[in-house]
Structure 1
Amino acid sequence: MTSIKNSITGLVLEYDSGIIPPPYSHVFRLALDWSKGDLSTALDLHYTEREELSEEEIFDEGFTPDDDYRYKGQLNSVWIKPLQQLFDKTRWTSKDIEDGGITVTAIEKGKDEGVKIPSNQEEWQLMAQDLIQAIYETAKKEAPLKIDYRQVEGDQLTDCSLTVHFSVREVVFEKNGTSRVVNWDFAIQLMKIVFTPDYHYELAKEEAGTKRGAYINCGDGYWHELGKGVVNIDPGFDAVKKIRIGFTDLIQGE
């Protein structure tokens, strides 16, 4: 008997941010079709409820008045297997998602199998975000995400970087002019932690520090010192320490 994951030829992901206020509130529909072996993709993303906001208010939050985006084209087929694996392990729920969430519709040989609500909402939302980022890179709308890191211990200075290529689902770690591909899940988890603490830009520098410590540049040209310019928000979660450990493991080749 053919398993479900092998019989599915596509998925449709639909998301509504729910109660999140504008300019962040948005909806999207992401259609994925691998029935012919490649990965055909169609994205329709729309930001909602911005009518009462001024352009200045929108710009102040880091957006523009025209952030809606549509794409129709191909993505690298490397994404097909992770999608199949996530679908195969997912448990479905009848729980309402009126306050926001994502739904999944499986397509089997061109037939719509009906809308399902995944119980592992966060995993599906993260998958959708990764796919949208892959679309942005493929369409040259955005460049790959790159984090620069400097570790200074005594007279030893180590510069390295971590670059996430969503378009090909690959993460490259570079140190001292040499590079290697690192585990995707480890790197994505580290990237998530990198953006967890609070960054104090009034303490940021345009050059990395040379005194003992750790320094990070999240791609905007500013260097922040961990523990001083980068501080934890949640006292119960030491993100700064986890960032240090993550990059130390990469530097040591683990």
Structure 2
Amino acid sequence: MNPNKLSRSFKLFYESPINVPAPYHLEAVFTFNQFDTDKPTIAIEIQYIDRSDFSREELIADGLVPDDSWTYEGELPLVWRDRLGAAFQEYVTGSCSPKDQEPFITLEANDTTPNVPLYLESQESLIQEFMQAMFEIDGRELPLYLGFQFKDRAGNWRKIEGEMSFASLSFTYLESEEGQKVFSNWEELQDLMNHVFIAEFSADKANQNCKSASLAVYPGDGLWYVAGHSLRKPSGNNYYFDELEEKLQFIF
């Protein structure tokens, strides 16, 4: 894609895959202005399709806000300008004709020429993360609070807790012995999260506090899950817990 197109105002259109049902199905328009400057701005319009068919109580019970639309205007974080800009450079001229399980994604600059990503799945993940970031900035949602207990390479048990922020693309955590730290390699954090959340979580066996010296995860739901007990490895992955501990040792 011609980088000059990103120097002016342009729009990104997104719609969930057709097979994503209400109340999760949505359409969104992102309007970017002054994108290649130090003060880029963003205007967002999101419409949830057929969310009005559900009661307020049903939506809240599923962890969703009862509103069927959301708008936002403000500054675009520079970390997100850079991340999105790199992704947009890989768009090519063409039209988007997704399958039922694929999203609709199209970028249009002032000349109205449509540009589309080569790989819809990875771009959908990026857009979903961006929406989460803007929800955080607007105060609509809070950063994900996570905790880990693991044995480091020296054989010492470590316990850390902190906030995973999509807005800043970083994990700010507190460790009892070393105080507050920030880890900002988002790709490594994504890899860790992808690994953590393929495990099986048994809430009925989990606890609010982590008392034993064991590999454990606090995934943001108010409970600690201990490996081999309330935290179960994915079926067929016999090395899951070893791999999880190695990732934690590498990052922290």
Identify the TM-score tier after normalising by the shorter chain: 0.7 to 0.9
1:8 corresponds in structure 2 to 6
Report the Cα offset of residue 206 of structure 1. Answer: 0.7
Show CA shifts across 1:103-150 (max 9, x none). Answer: 13142xxx1442233221122112212221221222222232231111
2:80 corresponds in structure 1 to 79
Between the aligned partners of 1:79 and 1:194, the Cα distance in structure 2 is: 24
2:170 corresponds in structure 1 to 170
Note if contact 1:144-1:165 (Cα within 8 Å) is conserved in structure 2: yes
1:189 corresponds in structure 2 to 191
Note if contact 1:13-1:102 (Cα within 8 Å) is conserved in structure 2: no
Show CA shifts across 1:209-236 (max 9, x none). Answer: 323x211112232111123222245546
Give me the identity figure in percent: 20
3-state SS of paired residue (2:59): helix
3-state SS of paired residue (2:50): coil
Between the aligned partners of 2:55 and 2:156, the Cα distance in structure 1 is: 50
1:136 aligns with 2:138: no
Report the Cα offset of residue 191 of structure 1. Answer: 2.0
1:156 corresponds in structure 2 to 156
Higher mean displacement: 227-236 or 44-53: 227-236
- Structure 1, unmatched stretches of 5+, are none
Between the aligned partners of 1:73 and 1:20, the Cα distance in structure 2 is: 29
The verdict on how the C-alpha distance between 1:179 and 1:232 changes in structure 2, with shifts beyond 3 A counting, is same
2:200 corresponds in structure 1 to 198
Note if contact 1:203-1:229 (Cα within 8 Å) is conserved in structure 2: yes
Note if contact 2:47-2:70 (Cα within 8 Å) is conserved in structure 1: yes
1:9-88 equivalence runs, <5 A: 9=7, 10-17=9-16, 18-35=18-35, 37=37, 38-66=39-67, 68-88=69-89
Higher mean displacement: 164-173 or 129-138: 164-173
2:185 maps to a residue whose letter is: N
Note if contact 2:28-2:47 (Cα within 8 Å) is conserved in structure 1: yes
Number of paired residues? 245
Between the aligned partners of 2:60 and 2:139, the Cα distance in structure 1 is: 22
The verdict on how the C-alpha distance between 1:8 and 1:182 changes in structure 2, with shifts beyond 3 A counting, is closer
Q: Name the TM-score, length of structure 1 as normaliser.
A: 0.81
Between the aligned partners of 2:242 and 2:32, the Cα distance in structure 1 is: 38
Note if contact 1:47-1:68 (Cα within 8 Å) is conserved in structure 2: yes
Report the Cα offset of residue 155 of structure 1. Answer: 8.3
Report the Cα offset of residue 202 of structure 1. Answer: 0.6
CA RMSD of aligned residues (A): 3.0
